[in-house]
Amino acid sequence: MSLVSALTTAILPVLSVAAVGFVLGKTRDVDVDALGTITIYVLTPSLVFYSLATSSLSGEVAARVVGGVVAFTFVMVLLAEGVGRLLGESEPVLGAIVLSSSFPNAGNYGIPLAAFAFGAVGRSTAVLFIAGQSVLMYTVGVYVASRSGTTTAGGAVAEVFRLPLVYAVAIAGLARWFDAVPPTDTAAMETLRLVGDSAIPVMLLILGIQLANTRHGAALSRVAVSNGLKLVVAPAVGVAVAFAVGLGADSTVARVFVLEAAMPAAITPLILSIEYDEGAVGVSGPEYLSTAIFASTLASVGTLTVLIAVLQSGAVI
């Protein structure tokens, strides 16, 4: 796939829908929290269950993807922590660097992009990636976001078990294990497919609305480090991890894994940072994260266009 083809067939459809959300966020007072609640508790679980239950990926490949997500996240956390400390950063900016560098926007950006670029296998792999990352987000991510304040992270970790996404993954896995997945032409599965498919455009609209409401300023000159880690270092780590966990045998899955690893900074860490923010002198954690999300998302148009072209050519995997 050429750069132009990658841009027009994979990147532009995603950006077009997100741009509609951006304009909407600039011109209307949209309650994005309500949209987020619907996405988290209804749309995404439906998408996850249907995608996993009907996926052509084997259980072994799925386990390798999830294991790869765990390995990738911990490598990026250690790298970002080390770089941040070498630069002399302290909390809350240090935590913000770790969060923005380690957790890619594999959901409302990554799933649609993977689907456009790699079809059904792309979507299934991206769903597995976000399922594994969600657990880490509400454990490792909560710890990093809360460690600069007086709030204890232990109780907040239980939040992951309140998310229906976790149970959608478990139920889909059990259904496949016991060969109890209903036929796709049944009313129940058709309903889940319809609801799940609506998650993708809604995710992109939310992304655009959130970017429209992002504030930046003092942190703009300081996010180059996290952007470099997220958009340049992370894809390289993704390639290494994909080979390390044995995904190289399935080139499409491995390529989607690398693509998901290369996504810009995720939005959920910003929500966590706001939750645990206790005020700071200078740049706060939420200010740094919101700026990193905005800047990395804009920069990703170029980096992801090149990456998709490289991955489709087979030059790396």
Q: In this structure, what are the phi and psi dihedrals at residue 166, rounded to the nearest 5 degrees?
A: -60, -45
In a 3-state reduction of DSSP, which class is residue 178? coil
Whole-number pLDDT of residue 306: 92
CA–CA distances in Å: residue 74 to residues 4, 80, 100, 128, 167: 34, 10, 13, 17, 24
Whole-number pLDDT of residue 289: 86
Q: Assess contact for 196 and 49: CB atoms under 8 A.
A: yes
Q: How far apart are CA 183 and CA 220, in angstroms?
A: 51
Range of the domain at 255: 3-313
The model's pTM is: 0.83
Integer-rounded Cα radius of gyration of the chain: 19
Strand pairing partners for 104?
265
Q: How far apart are CA 93 and CA 148, in angstroms?
A: 10
Residue type, 97: I
264 DSSP 8-state letter: -
Burial of 130 (0-12, 13-18, 19+ CB in 10 A): buried
User: Mind listing the pLDDT tens digit of every residue in the chain (317 residues)?
Assistant: 556 676 677 778 888 888 999 999 999 998 877 888 888 889 988 988 998 888 888 888 989 999 999 999 999 999 999 999 999 988 888 999 999 999 999 987 898 899 888 988 998 899 889 888 988 887 788 788 877 655 555 555 566 677 787 788 889 889 998 999 999 999 999 999 999 989 888 878 887 887 787 666 656 778 999 999 999 999 999 999 999 999 988 899 999 999 999 999 998 888 777 767 766 566 778 778 888 988 898 899 999 999 999 998 888 87
Strand pairing partners for 265?
104
CATH number of 149's domain:
1.20.1530.20
Listed residue (305, 313, 292, 317) closest to 105, CA to CA: 292
Q: How far apart are CA 294 and CA 121, in angstroms?
A: 29
**Helix and strand tally (H, E) in the chain?**
17, 0
Residue type, 74: F
Whole-number pLDDT of residue 23: 95
- Give the chain's domain count: 1
In a 3-state reduction of DSSP, which class is residue 265? strand
